[in-house]
Amino acid sequence: MNRRTLMIQLLGLGAAAAAGRARAAIPELRPPRLPFPPLRGPIPLPTDGLSAAEQRSAYARVALADRLSLPEGFRADLVLQWGDPLAGGRFGFNNDYLAFTSMAEERALLTVNFEYISPRPWCAGYAAVMGRELPFEALRQQLAERGGRVDALTLAAGDPLRQPLLAVATAALDDQGIGVAELSRTADGGWRHSPGRFERRITGLSGWQKPEERLRSTGPAAAVFRRKQRLGYDDGLGDRVIGTFANCAGGQTPWGTVLSAEENVQSHVVEPVYADGSSPSPAERPFRFDGERLEGLGNPFGLAGNKYGWMVEVDPRRPERLAVKHTALGRFRHEAVAVRAHAGEPLVVYSGCDRHGGHLYRFVSADPLRDPRDPACSRLLERGRLEVARFLPDGSGRWIPLQPETPVEPLSPEHFAGHGLDAVMPVPHSDRDKAGAEPLRSDAELQAYRQRFRTLADLYRGSGEEQLGAILIDAHLAGNAVGATPAARPEDTDLDPRTGDLLITFTAGGSDGDGQADPAIFRGPEGQSRWPFGWLMRLQDEAASQARPGGGFRWRMVATGGTPWEGGMGFANPDNLAIDRRGNVWMVTDRAAVNGSADVFGNNGCWLFPVSGPTAGDPLLFATGPMECELTGPCFDPAETTLFLAVQHPGEDNAIHTSGQEEVQAYTLRDRNGQPFEQLRQVPLGSNWPSGEAGRIPRPGVVAIRRDRGGPLLGPA
């Protein structure tokens, strides 16, 4: 399949459109009528408008920049940044997902996720941003004397480590969670922060000191939380929950609420669970801080691990309403959510688990949807069926229900061996008195496992809601047990408003030792069983049924990351998506460790795939972020005159940039004719964004991007 056909499929265009573009299989060097003048990245692209000789000249010397770069004719206004006052608290750290909610009289609400702490820039900037010191160095030294980690719950009241530890842990959890900010439109058509009565701040410790602020939980796992007899730890809170953290991606419902995804909670609480769904002691995830890593934040507060890793619903228009964790949607490392809401049909919610070998999930509500705009629709998230995807190499697939009667049928270890890979297939531990997983490394082990455990009911204890709750709490391992496809870090799910197809970003194919993507599905352009640059998939789903579990779908890869000379489209590690009303696909990328000889792609960016015109389907670079950051959470205002982006973790690797602090990197690139040439690249270390002043601290923040002269983002200037 040629590159142009893949692009047409990415945009969901029909066969007639594909045929009409057959002559455009080789892009013109200078295509006319671009929606904006694309940025030139650090590597040659088929769409950069340069000849091979011009590419060798233009890309021989490149300097990366510590700024948010946009096309000519666009501007970015800083709306909010880390530490700004918000709802009696502060705007948190590492802003991620953004949701725009319109209000009356040129006002709006912006719901923001705050995902995690980057220790280097957070520690370097905390005093300047907050106006008070934290005992970082004292804590680091005292912990180093005790082996670098500690179970904080065992510290005596007078222990000198206790005070600095609690101060840092509290501040870090206060900087995570969810925020709702009020915006107002300016006279020139922009947006600015304008505090009002709807503003709200939910942190990682909401409810710790004020029980009335604890989050509610609904669905089957709430029955597990309420159990008096359990194998593991009891936090004494029943079905209430303290706070939310690791809030990464999210989505909006037609009835106006926001769904916030708790992702990498395993860094701070115990992730494995027992057969009854209860959590091991917080002592199993001790507090750790060495200046570069900050982990185990739940330990000092005795947080039960099984209460984190959920989808959280917030109503931005009702700040008095408690946030809710809907356990029927499953517990895993949630990334993103897409909501399919058609009157007369069940509500369907898609989400991915962002880990190597994580799964794609579909929730189907028990009751049909009547009016998608009725606020009462939230109750549909409380009861239903969670299903997990099994992809087949022929482009088909099926949904497997995560229910007690579902057969145990893990993917065979020999499947991986057939692709030259060692099997990495963890399943629920065969000693059901132990929490967590064990690997299946041979078909003999697989057969012995299936002899002992015929269905999920044989693996999980309890009955009724309690047993189903235990399965949902352990959704990832339960998915492995029933034969779900281990995927390549699914990071976003978005529904195409024109076709109804589900677009999915898979960030990277490979293994981290605990999980591995299925090499029969996630293959590089030349059949590579490991491909670290990611894909976009388009999935056509069958209608879900309340009465009939499971169902089928069709899938196809429609875009592949990587360099053009290796068969990729020039981007790497796709993350969040946004699809505008015309069907144009906006995509941001997420690569770690920008400073390194292995990262030829340079700074993370925002790309546009136009749905029409001479560049339909071509990836056009719209924005690049400051040093060591990723761009996240793309969303629009209703008129699509403004694109909101979150600039997350600028300076994550080296914190504050100072004048002259840089390195020179060397790369071998290839021009459009496939001929190699050498590039020297100048790379600043650290960041000063958003101030841009050398020596100033980097701060995560949210920007509003628009045309200098107003009007639609992709309309005439």
SS (H, E, C) 464-521: HHHHHHHHHHCHHHHHHHCCCCCCECEEEEEECCCCCCEEEEECCECECCCCECCCCC
Q: Which tens digits make up the pLDDT trace of 467-482?
A: 999 999 999 999 999 9
Instruction: Please state, for a pLDDT cut of 90, what percent of the chain lies above it.
Output: 89
Question: Does 646 reside within a domain?
Answer: yes
Pair 576, 536 in one domain: no
At 425, is the pLDDT very low, low, confident or very high (cuts 50, 70, 90)?
confident
* CA 490/CA 465 separation, integer angstroms: 28
pLDDT at 21 over 60: no
At 303, is the pLDDT very low, low, confident or very high (cuts 50, 70, 90)?
very high
Pair 390, 512 in one domain: yes
The pLDDT assigned to 45 comes to 95
Q: Which tens digits make up the pLDDT trace of 489-544?
A: 999 999 999 999 999 999 999 888 899 999 999 999 999 999 999 999 999 999 99
For the segment 42-67, the average pLDDT, to the nearest whole number, is: 96
Q: In the listed set 539, 563, 587, which residue is the last one of a domain according to the structure?
A: 563
For the segment 112-134, the average pLDDT, to the nearest whole number, is: 98
- Please say whether the beta carbons of 587 and 595 come within 8 A: no
Pair 590, 546 in one domain: no
* CA 407/CA 424 separation, integer angstroms: 21
Pair 552, 575 in one domain: no
* CA 30/CA 13 separation, integer angstroms: 24
The pLDDT assigned to 1 comes to 47
Buried b (16+ CB within 10 A) or exposed e, 89-109: bbbbbbbbbbbbbeeeeebbb
Q: What is the DSSP string of 201-256?
A: EE-TTTTSS-GGGPBEEESHHHHHHH-SS-SSB--S-TT-B-----EEEEEE-TTS
Q: How many residues does the chain have?
A: 717
Q: In the listed set 514, 532, 563, which residue is the last one of a domain according to the structure?
A: 563
Pair 556, 696 in one domain: no
Residue 149 belongs to domain spanning? 93-255+283-319
pLDDT at 405 over 50: yes
pLDDT at 15 over 90: no
Pair 380, 491 in one domain: yes
At 552, the amino acid letter reads G
* CA 444/CA 458 separation, integer angstroms: 20
83 by Cβ neighbours in 10 Å (0-12 / 13-18 / 19+) ranks as: buried
For the segment 331-358, the average pLDDT, to the nearest whole number, is: 96
Question: Does 85 reside within a domain?
Answer: no
Query: Across the beta sheet with 149-150, what order do the strands follow?
Result: 149-150, 287-289, 294-295
Instruction: Decide the pairing of beta strands 61-63 and 676-684.
Output: parallel
What average pLDDT is seen over the chain? 93
Question: Does 272 reside within a domain?
Answer: no
pLDDT at 572 over 90: yes
* CA 359/CA 377 separation, integer angstroms: 26
Pair 558, 575 in one domain: no
For the segment 162-181, the average pLDDT, to the nearest whole number, is: 98
Q: What's the distance, Cα to Cα, between the start and end of the chain in Å?
A: 36
Pair 559, 575 in one domain: no
For the segment 363-381, the average pLDDT, to the nearest whole number, is: 97
The pLDDT assigned to 20 comes to 31
Instruction: Decide the pairing of beta strands 177-185 and 701-707.
Output: unpaired
pLDDT at 57 over 90: yes
pLDDT at 6 over 80: no
Question: Does 552 reside within a domain?
Answer: yes
Question: Does 211 reside within a domain?
Answer: yes
* CA 404/CA 138 separation, integer angstroms: 50
Pair 398, 531 in one domain: yes
Question: Does 665 reside within a domain?
Answer: yes
The C-alpha R_g of the chain, in whole angstroms, comes to: 25
Pair 525, 628 in one domain: no
The pLDDT assigned to 591 comes to 87
Query: Across the beta sheet with 247-252, what order do the strands follow?
Result: 216-218, 324-326, 311-314, 258-262, 247-252
Question: Does 87 reside within a domain?
Answer: no
Pair 232, 163 in one domain: yes
Pair 577, 504 in one domain: no
The pLDDT assigned to 600 comes to 95
pLDDT at 18 over 70: no
The pLDDT assigned to 11 comes to 59
The pLDDT assigned to 26 comes to 33
Question: Does 261 reside within a domain?
Answer: no
What's the total number of domains in the chain? Answer: 3
The pLDDT assigned to 598 comes to 55
The pLDDT assigned to 31 comes to 45
The pLDDT assigned to 10 comes to 59
pLDDT at 611 over 70: yes
